[in-house]
Amino acid sequence: MKIAIITSRYPSEGNPYNHMFVHVRSKEYINQGEQVEVFVPSNEISDYIFEGVRVRGMPSKEITKFLKEYDVLYLHLLHLYPLMKTDGWPIYKAIMQDKYPFAMYVHGSEATYFRDRYFGDRFQLQDLLSLLRKDFYHMPRLKKFLKEIAGKGGLIITPSDWMKDQIKIAFNIDNVYTIPNGIDVGLFSFKLIKSERRIIAVRPLGDKVYDIECTIEVLSFLPEQYTLDIYGKGQYKDDYEKLIFSKGLSERIKIIDNFIDRNKMKKLFHKYDVFISTTKLDTQGITMLEAMSSGLLVAAINNSSKEEFISDMETGILANRPKELAEKILKVTSSKELFERITKAGRGSMEEIDLKLTCKKELRILKEIASR
């Protein structure tokens, strides 16, 4: 089967972070015997190989000329940028007009309104205009596309049942399936931790949805032996450092102003004991689950999709408030037997959504679509 993956961004040697969750799929499809090429709407023409995957960049209208050469198209985060060569709308129009077999993986942010994801962020005027563009240009066109193709051969996949329900409500469509983003349990191998008091958070610091204030508050309820390292970059870094200082936690909480390469994340995880997630909205939480696969105790504020991936006090910890989360962290990390039982069960649950298994499910669906 010949698959064209179309995505608004993709990793390169100069920027290995761009939509890595799309790239790991591409590699695994190739490992499972399929032909894969990636197209990225771009102002410039480019053609390069990244870790064995061919990636072709060109304006959206040029991409439409190649669509008929593939058995199935697989869209990931194909954004709509009005009056730009990177606007994905010509591709959406071509799919509607020529009825190309396709599937669309909705990761979350691309199919939610700005008003539903605004948590008090500080914006420059240009940023605000971009987000308003999303609500009044991107979302209406995406809705038109999804309504047009509903029941006509196209298929929507989401990473969680929670996200599936959001899509059904927002777009009034039913042909939506859930397949989580796969976790590479081979790369993120299990290691039993010994200290149990070192906490890590890996989050961008430029979006209030990640609620770093809550992360900091959790540590304030824990004994002084517990430490927290926050890895990430973003506009609110200075604000968070001031908050840490004001709470007298500067000796226990450090912000590491850095993004970590995915292949280095495994070794980094094995230096810690607890991974904390206080996001206000999460369609899955890939980094959180990679930490769980690596043997960390995952502790999260319960909302959105988290109950689908964490069973409280069985495979991880869930709580509704910072103090409650801190109390549960203290309870589990104070018992070697309980800590080992939960982290081993967490690893076992990740093996059920191993990347190889989830890609097999996706390929099965893509083959069904291609054969219609």
What is the pLDDT tens value at each position of the chain, 372 positions in all?
A: 999 999 999 999 888 889 999 999 999 999 999 999 999 999 999 999 999 999 999 999 999 999 999 999 999 998 888 778 899 999 999 999 999 999 999 998 777 776 666 556 666 666 677 677 878 888 899 988 988 887 677 889 999 999 999 888 888 888 899 999 999 999 999 998 777 799 999 999 988 899 999 999 999 999 999 999 999 999 999 999 999 999 999 999 999 998 888 889 999 999 999 999 999 999 999 999 999 999 999 999 999 999 999 999 999 999 999 999 999 999 999 999 999 999 999 999 999 999 999 999 999 999 999 998
The answer regarding whether domain 198-351 maps to CATH 3.40.50.2000 reads yes
What is the CA 115 to chain-centroid distance, rounded?
Answer: 20
- Among 287, 269, 268, 267, smallest CA distance to 277 is for 287
Residue 115: predicted pLDDT: 63
Tokens matching residue 170? 């927002």
Reference 34, options 74, 66, 62, 77; nearest CA is 74
What stretch(es) of the chain map to CATH 3.40.50.2000?
Answer: 2-182+355-370, 198-351
Cα–chain center distance at 133: 22
In this structure, are residues 62 and 41 in contact, taking their beta carbons and an 8 Å threshold? no
pLDDT value of residue 170:
83
| Pairing assessment for the beta strands 72-76 and 2-7 based on DSSP bridges | parallel
CA dihedral (186, 191, 197, 202) in degrees, to 10, reads: -10
- Sheet strands (E) in 217-352: 227-231, 253-256, 274-277, 297-301, 317-319
Q: What is the DSSP letter of 48?
A: E
266-269 contacts: CB < 8 A, separation 24 or more?
Answer: 266/187, 266/188, 266/189, 266/294, 268/200, 268/231, 269/188, 269/200, 269/294, 269/295, 269/296
- What's residue 113's pLDDT? 72
Q: How many CB atoms lie within 10 A of CB 88?
A: 25
Q: Which of 293, 290, 296 has its CA nearest to residue 274?
A: 296
Q: Which residues contact 2 (CB under 8 A, 6 or more apart)?
A: 34, 35, 37, 69, 70, 71, 72
Nearest-5° Cα angle at 160, 155 to 166:
75
Q: How far apart are CA 218 and CA 277, in angstroms?
A: 10
The domain made up of 2-182+355-370 has a fold known as Rossmann fold (3.40.50)
CB 325 within 8 A of CB 349: no
The whole-angstrom distance between residue 361's C-alpha and the CA centroid of its chain comes to 18
Amino acid at 222: L
The torsion of the CA quartet 9, 166, 103, 20, rounded to 10 degrees, works out to: 30
pLDDT at 172: 85
Category of 114 on φ-ψ map: left (φ > 0), alpha (ψ -120 to 50) or beta: alpha
